[in-house]
């Protein structure tokens, strides 16, 4: 059995699942939603984005902590809790896997198309990106994904912070007489739901994180302290970068006479153009690289993560035995082809599909947040600290309250 490394060397070698979670999270929620928050409202939503990350922290942490304590995936915990919870997760997971794959893939292709000096169709670029991702995942498996994610996160962090510093040195572009709109009105509730629903990531990422942790544990032993260090580093880097992306929008786009595009690809391309017009054309490649890294990292981790969760669900349903590499590869290919099918046949409807997936993720978040919390309060689990317990109850109160407010607004009960 491989020896457990201690100290900082052990912590560095244990890094992986938390970095993968961060790479998956820093996609649409950061590049689009966070930057749009800054572009539309300046700095007004900065505190809300930070608060959401704090209030959701326990429920993402529990996915990793449960696996470290029980040596089983969070999805196995859902099955132990009850068939209803398990099947609810499976249905949500299937919908999210297909729709999210199509959404992140087409956004990545649109960004690549905008950056390339020659013209290729979105469909061709989708196939190219999908082929590259599948090649890495099918041939390199978890080890390759781990290495690619670490490279992407390092480049993404450095380039994003550099872009924000450059923009800050130029100063905000807001005219002296500009009066911005307020986000605190009912008409903006849909935007706030989209922003908070996937901030920092959909709740099913907590279950996927536990599967990445199990994959890492098969390669090397990881202590509880090392596993939580990896998670905390990934989570809080994700939260910090969300604030940096808000600053990108607030410094470069807020107060501009040009209307802010709301569609994901159009907005990301607009961000690149506005960086070029306000800072200089030399900045366009930097921001283009940031945008592409965001979405490519999300695409490859979405493909791997959802395939693992679908594979684990199939195993728990008794369709095949444990540790079946063929079944995981099959789910990976099936998920990829399903995402491409959505792009080919329902391309004009991907926007509404993503909105539906984001809304569904938002409304089911309180259920799975409570489920994660209840699993950690089981008799066989170590007792949670008072601080983490208090933050969990506070987070649950926020999630349930905001979900009820959204439902009332959606049903027309709030005017």
| 32 assigned to some structural domain | yes
Q: Give residue-wise pLDDT tens across range 235-247.
A: 999 999 999 989 9
- Structure-token pair, residue 155: 């480049």
| 368 assigned to some structural domain | yes
In the chain, the number of structural domains is: 1
* Between 184 and 255, residue with greater pLDDT: 184
| 306 assigned to some structural domain | yes
d(Cα 266, Cα 17) in Å, to the nearest integer?
31
Q: Give residue-wise pLDDT tens across range 247-268.
A: 988 888 888 777 776 665 677 7
Task: Give the structural domain span for 383.
Answer: 7-410
H-state helical runs in 218-346 = 224-252, 264-278, 284-316, 325-346
**Band of residue 31 on the pLDDT scale cut at 50, 70, 90:** confident
d(Cα 399, Cα 401) in Å, to the nearest integer?
6
Terminal CA-CA length for the chain: 63
Q: Give residue-wise pLDDT tens across range 199-208.
A: 888 888 899 9
Residue 307 pLDDT exceeds 90: yes
Average pLDDT over residues 390-413: 87
Share of the chain above pLDDT 90, in %: 33
Q: Give residue-wise pLDDT tens across range 34-59.
A: 888 888 898 999 999 999 999 999 99
In 3-state terms the chain splits into helix, strand, coil percentages (rounded to 5) of 80, 0, 20
Q: At what angle do helices 46-70 and 189-197 cross, to 10 degrees?
A: 30
Q: What is the pLDDT of residue 332?
A: 95
Q: What is the pLDDT of residue 263?
A: 65
**Band of residue 124 on the pLDDT scale cut at 50, 70, 90:** very high
| 217 assigned to some structural domain | yes
Residue 193 pLDDT exceeds 60: yes
CA atoms within 13 A on the CB side of 390: 3
Q: What residues have CB less than 8 Å from 402, skipping those under 6 apart?
A: 193, 196
d(Cα 70, Cα 399) in Å, to the nearest integer?
27
* Between 9 and 314, residue with greater pLDDT: 314
| 81 assigned to some structural domain | yes
Residue 326 pLDDT exceeds 60: yes
| 1 assigned to some structural domain | no
- Structure-token pair, residue 48: 């809300």
Q: What is the pTM of this model?
A: 0.89
d(Cα 96, Cα 339) in Å, to the nearest integer?
10
Average pLDDT over residues 81-90: 90
CATH code for the domain of 123 = 1.10.4160.10
Q: What SS3 string covers 106-123?
A: HHHHHHHHHHCCCCCCHH
Strand, coil or helix: 353: helix
| 45 assigned to some structural domain | yes
Average pLDDT over residues 383-395: 93
d(Cα 179, Cα 228) in Å, to the nearest integer?
44
Residue 310 pLDDT exceeds 90: yes
| 397 assigned to some structural domain | yes
Q: What is the mean pLDDT of the chain?
A: 85
**Band of residue 77 on the pLDDT scale cut at 50, 70, 90:** very high
Residue 3 pLDDT exceeds 60: no
Average pLDDT over residues 394-415: 83
Q: What is the pLDDT of residue 1?
A: 45
């Amino acid at each position: 059995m491989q020896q457990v490394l201690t100290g900082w060397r052990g912590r560095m070698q244990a890094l992986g699942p938390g970095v993968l979670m961060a790479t998956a999270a820093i996609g649409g929620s950061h590049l689009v939603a966070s930057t749009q928050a800054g572009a539309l409202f300046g700095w007004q939503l900065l505190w809300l984005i930070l608060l959401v990350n704090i209030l959701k922290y326990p429920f993402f942490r529990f996915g990793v902590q449960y696996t470290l304590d029980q040596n089983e995936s969070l999805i196995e915990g859902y099955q132990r809790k009850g068939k209803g919870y398990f099947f609810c997760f499976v249905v949500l997971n299937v919908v999210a896997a297909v729709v999210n794959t199509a959404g992140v893939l087409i956004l990545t292709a649109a960004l690549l198309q905008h950056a390339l000096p020659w013209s290729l169709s979105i469909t061709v670029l989708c196939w190219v990106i999908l082929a590259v991702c599948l090649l890495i995942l099918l041939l390199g498996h978890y080890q390759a994904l781990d290495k690619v994610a670490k490279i992407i996160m390092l480049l993404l962090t450095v380039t994003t912070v550099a872009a924000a510093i450059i923009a800050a040195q130029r100063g905000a572009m807001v005219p002296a007489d500009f009066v911005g709109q307020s986000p605190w009105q009912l008409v903006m509730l849909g935007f706030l739901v989209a922003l908070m629903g996937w901030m920092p990531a959909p709740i099913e990422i907590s279950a996927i994180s536990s599967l990445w942790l199990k994959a890492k544990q098969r390669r090397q032993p990881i202590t509880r302290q090392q596993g939580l260090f990896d998670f905390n580093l990934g989570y809080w880097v994700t939260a910090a970068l969300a604030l940096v992306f808000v600053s990108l929008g607030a410094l470069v786009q807020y107060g501009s006479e040009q209307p802010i595009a709301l569609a994901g690809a159009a907005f990301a391309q607009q961000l690149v153009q506005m960086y070029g017009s306000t800072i200089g054309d030399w900045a366009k490649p930097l921001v283009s690289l940031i945008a592409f890294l965001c979405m490519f990292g999300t695409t490859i981790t979405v493909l791997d993560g959802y395939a693992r969760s679908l594979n684990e669900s199939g195993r728990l349903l008794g369709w095949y035995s444990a540790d079946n590499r063929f079944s995981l590869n099959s789910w990976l290919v099936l998920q990829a082809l399903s995402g491409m099918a959505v792009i080919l046949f329902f391309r004009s409807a991907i926007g509404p599909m993503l909105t539906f997936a984001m809304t569904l993720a938002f409304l089911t978040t309180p259920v799975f947040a409570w489920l994660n919390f209840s699993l950690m309060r089981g008799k066989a689990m170590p007792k949670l600290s008072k601080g983490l317990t208090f933050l969990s109850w506070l987070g649950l109160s926020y999630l349930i309250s905001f979900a009820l407010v959204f439902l009332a607004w959606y049903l027309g009960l709030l005017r």
